[in-house]
Amino acid sequence: MNYFKTAILLAGMTALFMGVGYLIGGSGGMMIALLVAVAMNAFSYWNSAAMVLRMHGAREVDARSAPEFYGMVQQLAQNAGLPMPKVYIMDNPQPNAFATGRNPSNAAVAATTGLLNSLTREEIAGVMAHELAHVKNYDTLTMTITATLAGAISMLANFAMFFGGNRDNNGGIGILGTIAMVFLAPLAAMVVQMAVSRSREYEADKGGAEISGMPLALASALQKIAGAAKRVPNMAAERNPATAHMFIVNPLSGERMDNLFSTHPDTGNRIAALQKLAQTMSGQAGHARQAASASGPWSQPRQRGPWG
């Protein structure tokens, strides 16, 4: 998502936030809501990455503590033309991964031990390339701030129910309008958050396939992760459901179909898109990428652990 679209999205979320503030406290409430929105954006910009990593118990690794995994990410970052991100591992049996950070120079990628122990090298490379595509597209910043504002709008809308609307505004919409806002404001925030989240996953799948040169390996990884996510609980994600949209596959139990309120597109739809991309890449350019990827550190026969 480019900067213009990101700016439009955040402006819309901030306007919605201000509208709920106006409903609660008139012009004064609207100004307070604006200040709160600005403060939340600033806080998320500087601190979101560290917060999310702590929530999921991620530990940083390097070339000494996890040489194979670190070397793989390093090679993929070079392929993508990105600075080397910080690399983290989460002690979690569910195979999954996410990226975070305000920009490519301050990015981090994290994978679970379940992912590193259950997927092939090619599949792991596809997953990490997907996460680096998020970094390259600045998705991590957009989605973190959007999620923060969406949660705040829901909180403000609930407050409106108790305040009973703006009593000082003669043209106010009254208690019925307040009740409507209690439901419509968080609903609107949710629609924006989830719709953007789904669209970014398709783009990151495409970008990750191009970075790794192995779209079918990423497709295979998505199938395995989605299947395991239904069987293996991710307790850290269950405790922090607001971070679910950051993972490559929904880590929460009870994942729903590909609809307007899903944090992720249907896995089958994503796999089908990758299969079509693989056909496109099977020409001369695709063969060149496959040949280049064969020299990467993940192309050798798989040996399990130690990943760190």
Q: For position 185, what pLDDT does the model report?
A: 63
Q: For position 196, what pLDDT does the model report?
A: 66
Per-residue pLDDT at 297 exceeds 80:
no
Per-residue pLDDT at 5 exceeds 70:
no
Per-residue pLDDT at 180 exceeds 70:
no
Mean of the pLDDT values across residues 207-233?
96
The rounded mean pLDDT for the chain is 81
Q: Select the highest-mean-pLDDT range: 49-53, 63-67, 260-264.
A: 63-67
Q: For position 205, what pLDDT does the model report?
A: 97
- Percent with pLDDT over 90 in the chain: 45
* Angle CA 124–126–127, to nearest 5: 65
- Cis link prior to 186 (omega < 30° from 0)? no
Per-residue pLDDT at 106 exceeds 60:
yes
Q: For position 136, what pLDDT does the model report?
A: 95
Distances (CA, A) of 86 to 39, 69, 71, 200: 26, 12, 12, 22
Mean of the pLDDT values across residues 271-284?
88
Q: Is 0.85 topped by the overall pTM?
A: no
For the annotated catalytic residues, the residue numbers are: 131
Q: For position 288, what pLDDT does the model report?
A: 55
The strand pair at 86-90 and 108-112 is best described as parallel
Alpha helical stretches, state H, 56-120: 67-80, 113-118
> How sure is the predictor about 296, in pLDDT bands with cuts at 50, 70 and 90?
low
Contact 21, 32 (CB under 8 A): yes
Q: For position 1, what pLDDT does the model report?
A: 47
